[in-house]
Amino acid sequence: MAAGNNQPQPEDKWLYCAAITTNSNITKDYPQSYQTIKDIVTKEKCKGKTLFTEEKAIYLEIVEGVRAKGKRNKIPIVDFTFGITHGNSKKYRLIEAKFEVEDLKNIDTKNIRDKVTHSKDVMSVDGIPIEGGAVILINKGKKVEQQKSFFSRQLRPYGNYQIMTIDDLYSRYFVA
């Protein structure tokens, strides 16, 4: 069951807030980017089933595609974002899906950091802060814990990056 805005939250737990995402200026300016998380992660090649049902996010790759139309170079952007809340505080959480990458050692951390920086610029139209770095989503597999540990160490100097599976994301931000 997805968390709602009226449920009590543990002291340090930030939870999904549909209203932040729904009322975003980005959602209003780019309505085609407002999609269910399950559809987004399917497009991003997530293997297996997901616990997500109707929860929605802003598919930032669509936003960037529309903004870059007619330009030669698209600026890299994370895959999607959604609103989170804790008490009266609001933030966005940036999500980069790396489901197709078998070995996280092959991921360019500078590219991830550039995507986060540009995504923060795009999302600044709402005046709502971004939660740290980003969540990097990976598929479940035999080496998932080892890969989470390795990639977390690579990104630690650059901010609050978290490596998760789709189930981890659901448990962390969608279950009170």
SS3 1: coil
Measured on CA atoms in the order 94, 21, 2, 166, is the torsion positive or negative?
A: negative
* d(C-alpha 168, C-alpha 139), whole Å: 11
| pLDDT at res. 25 | 95
Contact assessment for residue 14 and residue 91, using Cβ atoms and an 8 Å cutoff? yes
Q: What is the pLDDT of residues 125-143, one digit of tens each?
A: 999 999 878 998 888 776 7
Q: List pLDDT tens digits, range 85-101.
A: 999 999 999 999 998 87
Tell how strand 80-86 and strand 56-59 pair up.
antiparallel
Residue 10's pLDDT is what?
Answer: 52
Q: What is the pLDDT of residue 72?
A: 65
**Which sequence spans correspond to the domains of the chain?**
15-174
Which pLDDT score, from 0 to 100, does residue 159 have? Answer: 75
Which portions of the chain are predicted below pLDDT 50? 1-9
